[in-house]
Structure 1
Amino acid sequence: MMGGRHVVVIEAGLTGSATAWRLARHGIRVTLLERDAPASVLGSSHGSARIFRYAYPDPLYADLVRRARTDWAELEEASGVPLFTAHGAVDHGSLRDTPRLAEVLTSLGVRSELLPPEEARRRWPHMVFGTPVLWQPDAGVVDAQTAAEAMTRLAAESGAEVRTGTEAGAVRRTRSGFAVDVGPSGAAPSVGDTLHATDVVVAAGGWLPRLLPALPLPAAFRASLPPFTVRKEQVFHFRWRDPAAAWPTFIHDESGTLVYGLPGGRDAGFAGQKVAVFDGGPVLSSAADPDRTIDPSNRARVTAYVQEFLPGLHPEPYAEAACLFTSTPTEDFVIDTADHLTLLAACSGHAAKFAPLLGRLTADHVLGIDPTPPRFRPFTA
């Protein structure tokens, strides 16, 4: 093992499993703790369908997407499992600024096409467009749950110890690093069941607000962190009227309401489009909040949107689900360290598309191989 280091990674969602895989490939001793199972329904990484899009007005993120696509291909090759499906993506709406998005993608060499609304309606007659449309032919959908499971397996094959059904309790500093109390999920860790580590990576997603107060972090580090907001996102599946029609993923930003949609994958039987209002649900205290009920007013709001803008769908949801978005005010990620304790808060509702790359960035950050973008380091930048 490299340098005698032992890194404990807390939670095996997309980013935690990616970090464990990357660290283990470097020859680091890794223990990956997951309170349930990889990509558990208790967190944010479950399900088969997340949008992979290139269109960001910020060149930093657009370039990271470009880099992440290579990492997804690497992960598919390493795991032998298909994880990316090309559907293309469209962005439109009066607040989406598609000319700016096209300009950024062109500067990075990413294929895109800016279409007048009449041309977009000709290509996708099952959708309604009233503004210029940005088409990204190389975008698509990634399978979040299968990816997290694959990266957990690859981490184990590279030497990592994976403990499912295991919850991290207290994290204490010791003279040589950290002591992490562990035990069965939902029960107090038994006395003496302690892991000793040189480094800890907390990739807890919606569980972070619950864990953060107990982490041994310097006051200055805590003060530098942005607030983390956990929101119950609610998604609805609508059947395609014509199953043979080509449906891209989409983002539609109009009048201050951002709606997104994508082919729903196996989550709902490969039979329709998943549609939701971004940040349309209530705020929760953390992932520990058990409320996963669907708000009827949210369902009615999304159904009304489908009736107006997506005539190619039957306007009655045939499946629905709640998931968690954990966001920072700027929607930036956090990858920062205080004395060998690293927070990986890759959240804000748009992290899934970056998952293998975020694992690489975090592993490199922990090992001091490559500097993390300063915007992700509120304390050490």
Structure 2
Amino acid sequence: MSPGPPEFDVAVVGAGLMGAATAWAATRRGLSVAVLEQFDAGHDRGSSHGSARIVRRAYPDPLYIGMTGRAMELWNELETDAGTQVLRVVGGLDHGRLREPERLASGLAAAAVPHELLPPEEAARRWPGLRFDGPVLFHPEAGTVDAAGAVAAFLERAGARGADIRHGTAVRRVTPLGEAAVRLETAEGATLTARRAVVAAGAWTSDLSAGLVPLPELTVTQQQVFHFPRRDPAAEPWPIVVHKDALSTYSLPGGRDGGPFDGRKIAEHDAGGPTTADTRDGKVDPAARDRITAYVRQWLPGLVPEPFNEATCLYTSTANDDFVLDRSGPLVVCSPCSGHGAKFAPLIGELATELALGGAAPEPRFTLAAHAARR
């Protein structure tokens, strides 16, 4: 007896930002969708929890500058669709010798993105409480996205359009059934079939895709973030800041995680130690806390240099920090994002849906073949 037709057009494995965004995009295209997430809704085990991730237009790479434009459009569409706010636009600042603000300004100018290049004295006048020692790039189209709120909004709208969303459902095996279908088996032994499976499993991607697609090496690290209170909680929030010099740091308004006084979230970028999705310990490194506290004393005099909250999260990174977004048979691999993907979530969901519908890879640099060629 031959098997019946697949139960769904698309099965999405993982309901973090990328998986949830894919479900939203696919249901907007009229596709039948199942979403399988191993943890409960709102969990903090991956890379999509918390109330604040950076959105920005400034990149040294024209490819990503262009992508940020479409991503911002889609964030606005989500807010309209869901009737809720997930973006907080406060502007963005880039400074430090290794951040090369002049180069960033040239890239934004070429893309017609509004920006200003300021001397340090002018930047300090505009944003008291921050300290600068060189040119500062300001661009207004930057701020934060509420990661947990965005996941909830994506899934709520996908569910309203008929998506079958299953939390607490771990996928243990993905089996292609030729080129036109795939079977997923859960930890409980249940199965479902779909025409396409989108693996958006973040730090679990390698485990689920091993032997099925030629993934590049993906490095999982545990990052540490800290929240500091502002000396004047009633003041206007500062822009997000990316600063590269002796340390490579970022800071942003913390949202709910920043407490009732809207504290500041600060971290080193990509300074975490190697781990795995299932063996991370969730412990903050005291040396990292000391480095960030010293940084606050030197560069952020508008903060009280005593963290009131701290947390960890996971990065899943490629060797060159480019995304992975490609199809192999009925499987779509959806972007381990190397610590800079949250801002692109609705765009990645849109592109993953195009792949599931049979479209070409959206960017040659993101293909499995391109990553393999760099090994």
Q: CA deviation at 1:245?
A: 2.7
Query: Which residue of 221, 224, 232 corresponds with 2:222?
Result: 232
Q: Distance in 2 between matches of 1:372 and 1:40?
A: 30
Map 1:112-191 onto structure 2 (within 5 A).
Answer: 112-175=115-178, 177-183=181-187, 189-190=188-189
Deviation string, structure 1 residues 67-103 (Cα, Å, up to 9, x no partner): 1110000000000010111111100001111111111
Matching of residue 313 in structure 1 with residue 303 in structure 2: yes
Q: Which residue in 2 is equivalent to 1:186? A: none
1:373 aligned partner, one-letter code:
E
1:216 aligned partner, one-letter code:
L
Q: CA deviation at 1:107?
A: 1.4
Q: Which residue in 2 is equivalent to 1:250? A: 241
Query: Which residue of 175, 196, 199 corresponds with 1:199?
Result: 196
Q: CA deviation at 1:151?
A: 0.5
Q: TM-score, normalised by structure 1?
A: 0.92
Q: Which residue in 1 is equivalent to 2:323? A: 333
Deviation string, structure 1 residues 173-225 (Cα, Å, up to 9, x no partner): 22562221113xxxxx23xx111122111000011233232x533xxxx1xx3
Q: Distance in 2 between matches of 1:178 and 1:10?
A: 12
Q: Distance in 1 between matches of 2:98 and 2:212?
A: 42
Q: CA deviation at 1:335?
A: 0.6
Q: Which residue in 2 is equivalent to 1:304? A: 294
Give me the identity figure in percent.
46
Higher strand proportion (structure 1 or 2): 1
Q: Distance in 2 between matches of 1:143 and 1:166?
A: 24
Q: Which residue in 2 is equivalent to 1:379? A: 369
Unaligned runs of 5+ in 1: 184-188
Q: Distance in 2 between matches of 1:151 and 1:70?
A: 15
Unaligned runs of 5+ in 2: 1-5
Aligned length: 364
Q: CA deviation at 1:353?
A: 0.5
What is the aligned-residue RMSD (CA, Å)?
1.8
27-36 vs 37-46, which moves further = 37-46
Map 1:46-61 onto structure 2 (within 5 A).
Answer: 46-61=49-64
Deviation string, structure 1 residues 240-263 (Cα, Å, up to 9, x no partner): 0011333111010003x2110001
Q: CA deviation at 1:4?
A: 8.0
Q: Distance in 2 between matches of 1:50 and 1:101?
A: 20
Query: Which residue of 17, 20, 28 corresponds with 1:17?
Result: 20
Query: Which residue of 37, 42, 45 corresponds with 1:42?
Result: 45
Q: Distance in 2 between matches of 1:85 and 1:370?
A: 33
Q: CA deviation at 1:161?
A: 0.6
**1:211–1:371 CA distance, 2 compared to 1 (3 A):** closer
Q: Which residue in 2 is equivalent to 1:268? A: 258
**1:266–1:304 CA distance, 2 compared to 1 (3 A):** same
Q: TM-score, normalised by structure 2?
A: 0.93
Matching of residue 209 in structure 1 with residue 206 in structure 2: yes
**1:339–1:380 CA distance, 2 compared to 1 (3 A):** farther
